[in-house]
Amino acid sequence: ALLSAEERGGDAGSGGGGGDDASAASDASTDAKVPELQKKLRVAAATVKKLRARETELEEALKAATGGEGGDDAAKAAEAEAAEARTRLDEKAAEVESLSDALEAERESSRSLKLALEEQTAATKKAATAATTAATKELDAERATSSELRAKTHEMAQIIEQLNDALAESHAAEEDARAAEEVRDAMAEQNESALRADVANLTSELEKGNAAHRALEERIVEMESKSVAAIKAADAAHAEELERALTAAVEEREKRDAASGAYEERIKALEAAFAADQATNDATAAKMRDAADQAAEDEIARIAAELRTIAAENERLKDEMYALAQRHAADSEALTQRHAAELEELAKRHAAEAEELEAMQKRREEDASPLESAKDAASDAKERKTLEKKLEVAMKLVKTLRAKEEEHQMRLEQATARTEIIREAEEAATARCDALKRVAEDAAETAARHEKNAAEANARADVLERKLAAETAAFAAAAAADGGR
């Protein structure tokens, strides 16, 4: 019976270990029962050995008593003692058998727990592998997202640079148009005022000349009428008086001719003064043009400086955005590599622990004994607790990785928000460029309108000049005709 119990113990020692959280109480009771059963088994085995030795002694005594005198009584006594010893031996053997059965049951329980632990280990390994694969896919997707974001950031920087160039060109065109318009307005106003003043002066002089000419004609007509009346009324007695009157008339005509020459000189002087005024006006206009050009150049230089400052600021912002994108990409890459390394290390550690557990199970199956099986069961319980702790650590690590992943997702959302802000700024810049283009078109239309007005003013001035020249020539011709008459 002891031999069969040891054989069963040897068979049962190859399957101990395993279990989960639900079998923790049964594992504790099994760990507590196995040493007690082994102790009882050793005591029973010692008792069986003693009983077998006593049986052997009794058989020898029975044989000795059977061969001598008075052997019947001694033989009967020895046989009775032997029968009693056999009875006790059978009882102890039955007890040993029950203890062996109990130990076998405990080993069966340990074997089932070990199988459950193996299943849990396999499930944990599978879950860790699945988590590693999922994390790797997510990291690949994150790398792709980071690359796409980097490309979009570079494209946005180029678009912003193009918008800045267009904005600078629009500003320059707007300022040039505004400066040209101001210069044209100033020149047109100056020319118009000068022409009006000249026309007013010439008109005044012409009116004065016409008034003098009319007065002279009236005086001539009056004197001629007086001469005719004197000639008709005079008789021979008044011939001398008529001669004096004629002489006075001739003198008056000479005076009139002298006055006509003086008026011609006055006209020439007026023409010279007009030419001098025109030269002065041209010089003043040239100075004003130079001043306007200088002011326009200064304004253009100031605007160019402001545009260079704005371009430098845009360049700095673009560099900051590019540096931010590079830093974000580097952080994402480092976080991805660190996550991959941590997951790979976790998978390797789980695989090594699983291999070590399998090796330990194989060693236990190879050299198993009743006492070692009980020790293996206890060590399996400890290893199970150790594995549970490691599993908790792995779960904490997974939670940490998820938290890091959420943090990285939040950074990606922030980068997306910054990208949206940049897009809104681009839309605002585009709208401003459109507005500046409309302003430039309006300025061009205004400049064309001012040019048209200036051309019309120049045409009116030319007409007035031709009219004045014609009137002056007509007056000179009339004066010459009067002089001839």
pLDDT tens, position by position, 46-105 = 777 777 777 677 777 666 666 544 456 666 776 777 677 777 777 777 777 777 777 777
List, for residues 122-171, the tens digit of each pLDDT value: 777 787 777 777 767 777 777 777 677 677 767 766 766 776 676 677 67
More confident residue, 40 or 376: 40
If pLDDT is split at 50, 70 and 90, which confidence band does 438 have?
confident
Please give the pLDDT value at position 246: 63
The average pLDDT across 259-279 equals 67
Q: Does the residue 158 lie in any domain?
A: yes
Q: Which two tokens stand for residue 411?
A: 């950074």
- Residue type (1 letter), 76: K
pLDDT (0 to 100) of residue 230: 53
Q: Is residue 69 part of a domain?
A: yes
In the chain, the number of structural domains is 1
pLDDT band at 20, cuts 50/70/90? very low
The average pLDDT across 306-331 equals 69
Give residue 98's pLDDT.
Answer: 74
Residue showing tokens 């008109």: 203
Q: Is residue 291 part of a domain?
A: no
Q: Per mean pLDDT, which of 169-173, 189-193, 288-292, 457-461 is the most reliable?
A: 457-461
Please check the confidence at residue 174 and state whether its pLDDT lies above 60: yes
Q: Give helix 24-67 / helix 71-233 axis angle, nearest 10°.
A: 170
Q: Which of 23-27, 249-253, 360-364, 454-458 has the lowest mean pLDDT?
A: 23-27
Render 135-187 in DSSP notation, one character per residue: HHHHHHHHHHHHHHHHHHHHHHHHHHHHHHHHHHHHHHHHHHHHHHHHHHHHH
Asked if the structure places residue 268 within a domain, the reply is no
Q: Residue 343: its pLDDT value, please?
A: 67
Q: pLDDT tier at 34 (50, 70, 90 boundaries)?
A: low
- Tokens representing 229? 């009346």
Residue 407: alpha-carbon gap to chain centroid: 17
Q: What is the pLDDT of residue 306?
A: 66
134 lies in some domain: yes
Domain-embedded: residue 292: no
pLDDT for residue 10: 43
In-domain check, residue 188: no
Instruction: Give CA separation, 104 vs 20, 89, 366, 469, in Å.
Output: 21, 22, 18, 144
Query: In whole angstroms, what is the distance from residue 167 CA to residue 296 CA?
Result: 19
What's the pLDDT at 366? 66
Question: Rounded to an integer, what distance in angstroms lies between the CA atom of residue 253 and that of residue 258?
Answer: 8
DSSP state letter for 367: T
Q: What is the pLDDT of residues 388-426, one digit of tens each?
A: 676 677 677 767 777 776 776 787 777 677 767 767 766
Q: Provide the whole-model pTM.
A: 0.26
- Span of 20-29, 172-181, 412-421 with lowest mean pLDDT: 20-29
Per-residue pLDDT at 16 exceeds 70: no
- CA angle 76–82–85, rounded 5-degree value: 145
Say how many C-beta atoms besides its own lie within 10 A of residue 5's C-beta. Answer: 21
Q: Which residue has the higher pLDDT, 19 or 375?
A: 375
Choose between 477 and 307: higher pLDDT.
477
- In sequence order, what are the residues at sequence separation of 6 or more whose Cβ sits closer than 8 angstroms to the Cβ of residue 147? 329
Virtual CA dihedral for 395, 23, 104, 6, nearest 10 degrees?
40
DSSP annotation of 70? T
Tell me which of 354 and 30 has the higher pLDDT.
Answer: 354
**What is the distance between the alpha carbons of residues 144 and 402, in angstroms, rounded to a whole number?**
19
Res 113: pLDDT: 73
Cβ–Cβ < 8 Å for 106, 34: yes
Alpha-carbon span 472 to 462, nearest angstrom = 15
Q: What is the dihedral of CA 46, 51, 57, 63, to 10 degrees?
A: -150
Mean predicted confidence (pLDDT) in 428-432: 70
82 in any annotated domain: yes
Q: What is the pLDDT of residue 8?
A: 43
Domain range enclosing 83: 32-166
Higher-scoring residue by pLDDT: 296, 95: 95
For residue 19, what pLDDT is reported? 40
| Average pLDDT score over the chain | 68
Contacts within 8 Å (CB) and 24+ apart, 392-401: 394/124, 394/128, 394/346, 394/350, 397/342, 397/346, 398/131, 401/135, 401/339, 401/342, 401/343
User: What string of DSSP letters covers 185-232?
Assistant: HHHHHHHHHHHHHHHHHHHHHHHHHHHHHHHHHHHHHHHHHHHHHHHH
